Amino acid sequence: MSGAVLISGAATGIGAQIAIYLADKGYDVIAFGLDTDLPMNIEAPGRGTLKEWSTARSLPVTVVEADVTSPDEIDAVIALAMAEHGRIHALVNNAAVRWLGSVPDTSFERFQQTLAVNLGGAFLCSKAVLPVMTASGGGAIVHIGSGAGWGKANMAAYAASKGGLIALSASIAYDHFHDHVRSNIVIPGGGLMSGMIASSPEESARIRASMPGTAAGRPADGADIGAAIEFLISPAGATISGAVLDVGSFFHQGGPLPPHPSASANKGS
């Protein structure tokens, strides 16, 4: 593939899964974030760090320590991508933190921190990459959203940040339409576990047991999210901008989906 794909928050969790998926498909990936020496979480196909895993499989993944709230560190990632690959094909804004709580339960400091990472980080990464993409004739930005972006209980700060991300993506799509830079949102869900939600196989199994999963009859996984992103950054998605692609089976609408009929029958027997 021509040009690098930058993925923020990619050392662990969904970001690491996306990095592995896209690298497997032939993209040159630069995965950046904090705690790059931590093992990938339970959903990732390995027990080591992303760097160890990609090196063992000879995947084109470069892992870089960088904070999405630091313009200087983001600029360093951009410079590395240009030096090694000559252009930037795509940016995946994945970095996020999640704190639970209603407005009265959430301190203003925690609210600000959540917005700084989830929304401010996407803004800063996009701001740094847009001139580079425009100068090279275009590119694609994919933001990892959440069903919480339409509002969810006990997620005041997180929901506010993800709601803002939806608006930011649409604004980028409008403003850079004629620059051939596409901006879209991917909504995970459908029982997908991330580092923010579960930290052990037991916790993952417990949460998934109460979720309907997806229309495929199974929970979503990192490959499902990676496939959606690959579509949006590939020539197949060349005409798509300003869209929201829900990979979680109605997850963006809040749900919940009704239980499977067999589950209701078993409950009543």
State the catalytic residues: 158
139-144 vs 88-93, strand pairing mode: parallel
256 preceded by cis ω (within 30°)? yes
Neighbours of 110 (CB within 10 A): 15
**Paired residues of 244 in beta bridges:** 185
**Rounded-to-integer distance, Cα 160 and Cα 65, Å:** 27
- DSSP classification of residue 247: -
**Rounded-to-integer distance, Cα 156 and Cα 50, Å:** 31
Going by C-beta distance under 8 Å and a sequence separation of 6 or more, which residues neighbour residue 262?
none
Going by C-beta distance under 8 Å and a sequence separation of 6 or more, which residues neighbour residue 53?
16, 20, 40, 44, 45, 46, 59
Q: How many residues does the chain have?
A: 269
Going by C-beta distance under 8 Å and a sequence separation of 6 or more, which residues neighbour residue 154?
100, 101, 102, 105
